[in-house]
């Protein structure tokens, strides 16, 4: 069975967003009015937004709805960054959410589930075989398979899947650093950290920089994705399955995110003992 057909493909979401924007477009001049006209337009806008969010709820999990609503807000913000549908509205309890968002209760539920999962994973540690991990990553960099190349790149650079498949760019460093490194740009989930949201910066790599750069160019020559969402939908199933085989040797606890954790642990070490195991860390 083709599980990909059971997912809502990215073009369908883009079509839905476009249709939604067309429905609320007639309200725009009314929203710029004052008094009763604007008030009535705001009520109509709220109902349209609530109906759209309810429709998404009926078809997807809350986590997926949250992801898709970000596409709505991004598209609307590109038209008008201060559109009334994007402005924070106060809910009970003092929290403020836009019309195109889950309720505060739903958001708290998602956050609680996320933190519970993080705690569970951090309590169920996996030992990292440094020698085996790096050897596997280097072998994957020589592969001609798209997902294999991607896993190798994720392991040696510590980049997220969507960065490898969509947003990342790498180049050689101009100055010699005390560790193998590449200049990286295209970080996602920056949380506005200084020096990461827009400016390129050096990252340590676990193989020769030129080898990593060559593998990355071969990956992008095979396939590129136009946005983060399509990259996620198009690769997540294969990544989830193949990481367990390639790095976990069948251990079902292994996930793509563990490649980033392992890279972080190995990159921090001033020396990596290729004949020993590093203590469990996730």
Packing angle, helices 146-157 and 209-222, rounded to 10: 140
What share of the chain has pLDDT > 70, as a percent? Answer: 83
Band (pLDDT 50/70/90 cuts) for residue 140 is very high
Beta pairing partners, 96? 90
Region 11-17: what's the mean pLDDT?
81
Give me the CATH code for the 125-268 domain, please: 1.10.443.30
Per-residue model confidence (pLDDT) at position 280? 37
Per-residue model confidence (pLDDT) at position 122? 66
Per-residue model confidence (pLDDT) at position 263? 94
Q: Which of 57, 163, 158, 157 is nearest to 110 (CA)?
A: 57
Determine contact, residues 243/147, Cβ cutoff 8 Å: no
Per-residue model confidence (pLDDT) at position 270? 43
H or E element that contains 262: helix 256-268
Does 190 score more than 70 pLDDT? no
pLDDT tens per residue across span 70-108: 999 999 999 999 999 988 765 555 445 688 999 888 989
With tokens 């970000």, the residue in question is 70
More confident residue, 125 or 218: 218
Per-residue model confidence (pLDDT) at position 193? 54
Per-residue model confidence (pLDDT) at position 12? 74
Q: Which of 125, 115, 163 is nearest to 258 (CA)?
A: 125
Per-residue model confidence (pLDDT) at position 123? 66
Region 124-141: what's the mean pLDDT?
89
Region 173-181: what's the mean pLDDT?
90
* Residue 127 burial (C-beta neighbours within 10 Å; 0-12, 13-18, 19+): exposed
Q: Which of 228, 211, 245, 192 is nearest to 71 (CA)?
A: 228
Per-residue model confidence (pLDDT) at position 282? 36
CA distances from 170 to 167, 199, 215, 253 (A): 10, 12, 11, 30
CA distances from 231 to 203, 234, 279 (A): 22, 5, 33
What share of the chain has pLDDT > 90, as a percent? Answer: 59
Q: Which sequence spans correspond to the domains of the chain?
A: 8-122, 125-268
């Amino acid at each position: 069975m083709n599980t990909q057909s059971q997912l809502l493909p990215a073009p369908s979401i883009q079509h839905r967003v476009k249709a939604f924007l067309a429905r609320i477009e007639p309200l725009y001049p009314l929203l710029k009015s004052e008094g009763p006209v604007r008030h009535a337009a705001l009520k109509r806008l709220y109902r349209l937004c609530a109906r759209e969010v309810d429709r998404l709820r009926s078809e997807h999990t809350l986590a997926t709805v949250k992801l898709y609503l970000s596409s709505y807000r991004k598209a609307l913000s590109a038209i008008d960054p201060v559109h009334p549908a994007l402005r924070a509205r106060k809910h009970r309890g003092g929290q403020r959410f836009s019309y195109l968002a889950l309720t505060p209760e739903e958001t708290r539920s998602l956050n609680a589930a996320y933190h519970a999962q993080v705690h569970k994973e951090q309590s169920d540690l996996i030992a990292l075989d440094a020698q085996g991990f790096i050897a596997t990553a280097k072998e994957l960099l020589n592969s001609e398979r798209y997902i294999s190349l991607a896993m190798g790149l994720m392991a040696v650079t510590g980049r997220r899947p969507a960065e490898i498949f969509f947003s990342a760019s790498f180049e050689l460093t101009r100055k010699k650093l005390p560790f193998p490194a590449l200049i990286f740009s295209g970080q996602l989930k920056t949380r506005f950290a200084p020096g990461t949201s827009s400016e390129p910066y050096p990252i340590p790599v676990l193989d020769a920089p030129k080898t990593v750069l060559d593998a990355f160019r071969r990956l992008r020559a095979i396939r590129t994705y136009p946005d983060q969402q399509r990259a996620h939908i198009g690769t997540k199933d294969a990544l989830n399955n193949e990481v367990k085989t390639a790095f976990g040797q069948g251990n079902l606890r292994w996930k793509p995110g563990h490649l980033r954790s392992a890279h972080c642990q190995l990159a921090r070490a001033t020396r990596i003992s290729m004949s020993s195991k590093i203590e469990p860390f996730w």
